[in-house]
């Protein structure tokens, strides 16, 4: 009887410790997603910063002179997509992180 009870206690301990490890790994994943979102926003800002510096060099290439408007459009679209995607990723994952911390505080 004592052996069965100690095995039962050990199985409860393992299930609780596994749940804590999963929660910690999930929280680390969310933090990594926030960092990735910040990197995306910074990349988008970098593209915006570089467009005025790169476009004069592109205008000197004869093959691209006819498509300058399209090239401007593509660069600005890429910057907007990077900034918006990174911002969405940051917003969503910070919201998840704050919900988890508030859930942990209520327990």
pLDDT in tens, 21-73: 557 778 889 999 999 999 999 999 999 999 999 999 998 988 888 899 999 99
d(CA 10, CA 17): 10
Mean pLDDT of 6-26: 56
Domain boundaries, the chain: 26-106
| 71 Cβ contact partners less than 8 Å away, ≥ 6 residues apart | 55, 58, 64
pLDDT of residue 12: 53
- H or E segment to which residue 66 belongs: none
pLDDT of residue 38: 96
pLDDT of residue 6: 53
Q: Is the dihedral of CA 12, 13, 16, 17 positive or negative?
A: negative
Helices (H), the chain: 2-59, 68-106
């Amino acid at each position: 009887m004592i052996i069965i009870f100690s095995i039962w206690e050990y199985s409860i301990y393992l299930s609780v410790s596994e749940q804590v490890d999963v929660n910690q790994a999930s929280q680390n994943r969310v933090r990594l997603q926030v960092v990735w979102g910040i990197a995306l926003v910074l990349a988008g800002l970098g593209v915006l910063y570089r467009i005025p510096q790169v476009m004069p060099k592109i205008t000197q290439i004869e093959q691209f002179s006819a498509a300058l408007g399209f090239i401007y459009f593509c660069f600005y679209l890429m910057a907007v997509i990077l900034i918006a995607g990174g911002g969405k990723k940051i917003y969503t994952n910070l919201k998840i992180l704050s919900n988890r911390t508030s859930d942990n505080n209520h327990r």
